[in-house]
Amino acid sequence: LAADIKLVVKADQPGPVIHRNIYGQFAEHLGTGIYEGMWVGPESKIPNVRGWRKDVVAALKELKVPLVRWPGGCFADEYHWREGIGPRSKRPVKVNSNWGGVAENNAVGTHEFFDLVEQLGAEAYVNGNIGTGSAQEMAEWLEYMTAEGKSTLAELRRKNGRDKPFRVHYFAVGNETWGCGGNMRPEYYADQFRQVATFLRTPPHNRPVIIASGGNGMQTEWTDVLSKGVPGVNAISHHAYTLPTGNWDKKGAAVGFPESEWVATLGNVQQIDQMIAKNAAVLDKNDPSKKIGFYFDEWGSWYDPEPGSNPGFLVQRNTLRDALLAALHFNVFHNHADRVHMTNIAQMVNVLQAMIQTSKDKLVLTPTYHAFAMYTPFQDATSLPATLEGNPVYKVDKFEMPTLSATAARGKDGKLYIGLVNANANAPAELTVQVGSGAPKAVKGKLLTAAAMDAQNELGKAPQVVPVPYEAQAADGKLTLKLPPKSVVVVAVEG
């Protein structure tokens, strides 16, 4: 056992609120992420509400999904909203050129998307098209969604079945405009953004947060250019994926990987922390009053595609490693809660680091799902300083990371919550917990672990990664927590 590790929580020094949208989701027209995975259509034998699968929506509701980003991703910059309204049988069928070249029948469009977020009780994040779209197209889409009066577009929305306006909480001008969104330079995009944002008009009480498409990975120049007085920028998006090898041509396997790739994957969260810190420093310089949000609206693991699957569908297994990766991201996002008010894991169902995987009428909850479920008490909680003393380094080959990661917050229910990750794949860890100057009496919550690094929950088999109850009591004025190897623990402090 690694000994003499101490977690010190300063319960009397509240930090920023951990915005619930840090637990945001992303659903793109990609593979079976939407079609089959969530949307089966109203005529399907699979139980559904107006086309959306009941089982998937019910499982997502358990996660208290705060918002959903749609329709992309790269797909967003080839999406034309007018093709997704009106009778579904009359909508044009397009080629989804980004993702496998399959037919996109536009069955899910604006009305269907809002039906989904309303069923989930989530906010809507609509990603506009700057790549192949125009200022006019985006302005008219917003008018269609939000206009209250008798304009032709508002009447068209009514004719299509929606009387009252949709509530658009977030609207982005393009996606990855440094790449699939148009291969632009930051200065060129900033000028494009200025032009488009001028025309994004809505009733004042239905004004979305306008998001500028920002940079990737360690880049800071997009944040810099977009936060230097570009009118209309309310938030800047940023993306970073975790690839075990760091190599886009051979990313690493989702299962059956060596321990070095376990550490390389989980240890990458240190880079995520750095990229947020570097971009936050740029924002602190350009926007000291912290008006501009930094939204990490695509993150998660990206492995080699599942053998036999369409590589354009980004299907990958989800294992215990993904659960730890998610929890480590949460702990980092909490530390940056003053700037990071939204993040969106990629993606919600069947794609990349998904919450849920489906096959026909069956579904399975992934290890990542359980990490999200365990961390729900942190939504809108008030962060608290949490320091790990004596935290040993976990090293395999050239890869290393701190063994433990911790976070603490005062939940909206008034309880003090602690989240812990033991990244070491082999060794348990033991730590004492101090809150203020003393030891709490007890903790109670959930533990997630499994026997193998790549343990997974597979359709038709008993799930291997499921949270179990966890508790510990103080003895002799000390509260000691024992964390199994490769585990996530979330507890409420009692007394």
- Which residues contribute to the site for ligand AHR (CB under 6 A)? 28, 72-74, 175-176, 298, 346-347, 352
Say which residue the tokens 């101090």 belong to. 434
Tokens of 437: 């100057």
Q: DSSP letters of 164-205?
A: SPP---EEEE-S-TTTTTT---HHHHHHHHHHHHHT----GG
- The closest of 9, 5, 61 to 419, measured between CA atoms, is 9
Q: Are strands 2-9 and 386-389 parallel, antiparallel or unpaired?
A: antiparallel
Smallest gap from Cβ 175 to ligand AHR, in A, equals: 5
Give the chain's end-to-end CA distance (angstroms, integer).
Answer: 27
Cα 424-364-45 angle, rounded to 5 deg: 170
Q: Which is nearer to ligand AHR, 30 or 373 (CB)?
A: 30
Q: Which is nearer to ligand AHR, 301 or 422 (CB)?
A: 301
> Three-state DSSP class for 159?
helix
Smallest gap from Cβ 39 to ligand AHR, in A, equals: 18
Smallest gap from Cβ 209 to ligand AHR, in A, equals: 19
Smallest gap from Cβ 177 to ligand AHR, in A, equals: 10
**What sign results for the dihedral spanned by CA atoms 79, 232, 240, 409?**
negative
Q: Which is nearer to ligand AHR, 73 or 165 (CB)?
A: 73
> Three-state DSSP class for 368?
helix
Q: Which is nearer to ligand AHR, 39 or 470 (CB)?
A: 39
Smallest gap from Cβ 103 to ligand AHR, in A, equals: 18
28 is catalytic: no
Contact assessment for residue 414 and residue 475, using Cβ atoms and an 8 Å cutoff: no
Contact assessment for residue 145 and residue 111, using Cβ atoms and an 8 Å cutoff: no
221 is catalytic: no
Cα 76-106-84 angle, rounded to 5 deg: 75
Set 123, 140, 176, 261: catalytic member:
176
Tokens of 26: 């992303």
Q: Which is nearer to ligand AHR, 175 or 268 (CB)?
A: 175
Smallest gap from Cβ 406 to ligand AHR, in A, equals: 29
d(CA 315, CA 31): 8
Set 298, 389, 400, 458: catalytic member:
298
Contact assessment for residue 236 and residue 271, using Cβ atoms and an 8 Å cutoff: no
Q: Which is nearer to ligand AHR, 72 or 445 (CB)?
A: 72
Task: Tell me if the bond preceding 71 is cis, omega within 30° of 0.
Answer: yes
The catalytic site residues sit at 176, 298
